[in-house]
Amino acid sequence: MSDTLQHLKEASQDLLFPSESDYPLVPFEWPQDKPLPTSAALLLSGTGYPGDTPVQTLNFEEFFAFKIEERDDQDAPQRAGARRLKTLVEVLQSQLSELRVYKLGSLKFDVFILGHDAQGRWLGLSTQVVET
């Protein structure tokens, strides 16, 4: 296991990504036998999704911006979650380059947050978000 993947596992352990339903953030290393996920089409191909699956490519910072804010309308556990998520974002930014976020599907999206490390390995996190 790479050091980067270990850092992602530690930073995301027991952390849920908030949406209408909260889902865990699952670290992964992109399989070396799959095409590099440098585009939405290659991500679909590498993950086995049908080529006509709706894909949104999102800005990394914008995807996390609201989720890492500590706000007055949050209770203590929500603020703690925002702090942990902010730490995870910092780990991603310090360990990976060319960070990108892909949302696949509709209503209940599969999300892939990924970039590459200094050795050229593609790693990241997957989760799900619900938006009705």
Domain ranges of the chain: 3-130
Can you tell me the mean pLDDT for 23-47?
Answer: 93
Position 55 scores a pLDDT of 96
97 band by pLDDT with thresholds 50, 70 and 90: very high
Burial of 123 (0-12, 13-18, 19+ CB in 10 A): buried
Determine what percent of the chain is predicted with pLDDT higher than 90.
78
Pick the CATH number of 3-130 from 3.40.30.10, 3.30.70.2190, 3.40.1460.10, 1.20.120.530: 3.40.1460.10
- Confidence check: pLDDT of 68 > 90: no
The pTM for the full model equals 0.92
